[in-house]
Amino acid sequence: MSRLSRATLSSRGPRDSVFTRGAVDYRTDAQSYKCPVDLEECVASLEDCCEEAHEIGSLLRAGTQDLPRMTKILENQIVFALAPSSTLQKYKADLIDEVEPAIIELVEKAQAGLQALEKKEKALETKLEAARNRPILTSQATAAQKLEQRRLVALTKQRERLEDELKSLEQDVVALVSCL
């Protein structure tokens, strides 16, 4: 414990300074100054503080002087963890068991979506072909011709709906036959 901390822990009571005596004349070669009586004690306390700071610096240097070398060693160190192949095979099998059902489900959904898109494409192609074959209504056509064309369009739409129904019924029949 330094002298300064010993002085502040004494039981003399509160005061402004740890040094209690008054000022005395301090003479040098040609001049006289008013200095505290305990100037030596002040200097000694300051020396104690400096010594403690020096010791702390020495401890810090001793503890950290090897840091750059150790940092380089730790950065370049490669660690290989070896595991038996049976353990790897077990983890691989567990991973397959966990992931495979989800992948199969996603593939099935993708196939169903693809079939739906193909069906929609065929329906659009049929609709396009029907539109190309449909006679164009002109403003100069007679009322009877316009009525005939409207009837033809309605019948064409009805035929397309019936063809779609027929296809779905055929698919249901095929599914029922395959189940049996």
pLDDT of 31 higher than 70: no
Residue carrying structure tokens 């009571």: 13
Residue 72 included in any domain? no
Say yes or no: 16 and 60 in one domain: yes
Say yes or no: 114 and 157 in one domain: yes
Max mean pLDDT among 22-31, 58-67, 109-118 falls in 109-118
8 A C-beta contact, residue 34 and residue 23 = yes
pLDDT at 53: 94
Residue 73 included in any domain? no
Residue 117 included in any domain? yes
Residue 70 included in any domain? no
Residue 148 included in any domain? yes
Residue 155 included in any domain? yes
pTM above 0.75, yes or no: no
Poorest-pLDDT segment among 7-11, 26-30, 53-57, 118-122: 7-11
Say yes or no: 97 and 158 in one domain: yes
8 A C-beta contact, residue 41 and residue 60 = no
| 14: phi then psi, degrees, rounded to nearest 5 | -75, 145
Say yes or no: 127 and 59 in one domain: no
Q: How confident is the model at residue 10 (pLDDT cuts 50, 70, 90)?
A: very low
Say yes or no: 57 and 94 in one domain: no
Say yes or no: 167 and 99 in one domain: yes
pLDDT of 8 higher than 50: no
**Total domains, the chain:** 2
pLDDT at 20: 57
Say yes or no: 59 and 121 in one domain: no
125-134 per-position pLDDT tens digit: 998 888 788 7
pLDDT at 6: 46
Residue 92 included in any domain? yes
Note down the domain range covering 111: 87-179
Poorest-pLDDT segment among 56-60, 114-118, 134-138: 134-138
**DSSP string computed for 39-101:** HHHHHHHHHHHHHHHHHHHHHHHHHHTTHHHHHHHHHH--------HHHHHHHHHHHHHHHHH
Q: How confident is the model at residue 175 (pLDDT cuts 50, 70, 90)?
A: confident
